Amino acid sequence: MAIKRKALGKGLSALIPEELEKEDIKKIEEIDTNLICPNPNQPRKVFEQDKLEELTESIKKYGVIQPIIVRKDNDIYTIIAGERRWRACKNANIKSMPCIVRDIENKNASEIALIENIQREDLNPIDEANAYDFIMDRYGITQEEVSNIVGKSRVYVTNIMRLSNLDSYVKEKIVNNEISAGHGRAILSLSPEKQIAMTNLIIKEDLSVRDVEKLVRDTKKPKRRVQPEKDKYLAYVEEMLTDRFSSRVNIKRNKNKGKIEIEYINNEDLNRILDLLKIED
């Protein structure tokens, strides 16, 4: 059975030893789905029902194409990656499924060598993000654990991994050193279309990261509504009433009806206005 590997950057692919890939093939086992359980630390808690149903139908027709990754805990196998496939198998009443069993606690020499290579290699930021993602997927570990393994701060690892959410066009520009990782982080909150447009502007105008951060902030500022110019008669009445009450008066009109607002600053000022209106409180 062919093992699909998550797409990696060109620089990172050279770091994955062929032996490491062969190890996965050797570790494939058919395991009873009832002996498999979800990882309680799995960040995804909700699975889209329609997509899960589509996967269930696909598995009914073609079987499980890609094994899930599990860790053995006594007689139970805890899922590291592939919970959606396991749920689909359960829905399809499939009794067993292919799994790659990994001994997470006791990493062998080749796995440790892979981590050390990633740590030493001068990777571009996108390859580095893919490397950390690969480690987390392979060993079922957290970003904090990755930061300890590779000797980087948690914030550094988090910021690098956020680049994985960029549009592929933007990632390519970072790999080719046309824009920096800082530029990429600055436009992460934009839609893919706006990311591409902003990337082209960065290259064309040679914008700094600070320039881009300001542009992104400006695009998110709510547009101020332009107040329509008031009717000259209403403006005159407002001015007259403002003089009459010595308080700001605002008249709002909507078609044939509206309201008059008289501002006051405290209770004493309110009583003064009521006296002028000859209204008893």
| Per-residue pLDDT at 62 | 85
Percentage of residues in the chain having pLDDT higher than 70? 76
Burial class (CB in 10 A: 0-12, 13-18, 19+), 239: exposed
SS3 of residue 3 by DSSP: coil
- What's the number of domains the chain is made of? 3
175 is a domain residue: yes
4 is a domain residue: no
Tell me, yes or no, whether 95 and 34 share the same domain.
Answer: yes
**How many CB atoms are located within 10 Å of the residue 92 CB?**
18
5 is a domain residue: no
136 is a domain residue: no
Tell me, yes or no, whether 90 and 35 share the same domain.
Answer: yes
Q: Say how many Å lie between the first and final Cα of the chain, rounded.
A: 87
Last residue of some domain: 46, 72, 101? Answer: 101
Tell me, yes or no, whether 32 and 97 share the same domain.
Answer: yes
**How many CB atoms are located within 10 Å of the residue 197 CB?**
13
pLDDT tens for 206-218 read: 999 999 999 998 8
Tell me, yes or no, whether 40 and 63 share the same domain.
Answer: yes
Last residue of some domain: 101, 116, 132? Answer: 101
| Mean pLDDT for the chain overall | 80
| Per-residue pLDDT at 6 | 45
Specify whether the CB–CB gap between 99 and 86 falls below 8 A.
no
Q: Using DSSP, how many helices (H) and how many strands (E) does the chain show?
A: 14, 7
| Per-residue pLDDT at 165 | 92
Q: Does the annotation mark 121 as catalytic? A: no
Tell me, yes or no, whether 217 and 236 share the same domain.
Answer: no
Tell me, yes or no, whether 204 and 255 share the same domain.
Answer: no
Interacting residues of 281 by C-beta distance below 8 A, sequence separation 6+: 271, 274
Catalytic residue among 18, 29, 54, 83: 83
Tell me, yes or no, whether 44 and 92 share the same domain.
Answer: yes
Helix segments in 77-141, DSSP class H: 83-91, 109-120, 125-139
171 is a domain residue: yes
pLDDT tens for 21-69 read: 566 666 788 999 999 998 776 555 567 788 889 899 999 988 888 888 8
Specify whether the CB–CB gap between 146 and 135 falls below 8 A.
yes
Tell me, yes or no, whether 200 and 239 share the same domain.
Answer: no
Structure tokens at 4: 């699909």
What pTM did the predictor assign? Answer: 0.50
254 is a domain residue: yes
2 is a domain residue: no
Structural domain of 85: 28-101
Last residue of some domain: 83, 101, 119? Answer: 101
For residue 178, the domain's CATH number is 1.10.10.2830
Tell me, yes or no, whether 84 and 65 share the same domain.
Answer: yes
Tell me, yes or no, whether 237 and 214 share the same domain.
Answer: no
Paired residues of 73 in beta bridges: 76
| Per-residue pLDDT at 25 | 67
| pLDDT surpassing 90 at residue 173 | yes
Tell me, yes or no, whether 95 and 61 share the same domain.
Answer: yes
Instruction: Give the span between the Cα atoms of 159 and 154, in whole angstroms.
Output: 9
89 is a domain residue: yes
Specify whether the CB–CB gap between 199 and 181 falls below 8 A.
no
Using CA atoms, how far residue 181 sits from 13, 66, 124, 243, in Å, is 20, 33, 9, 60
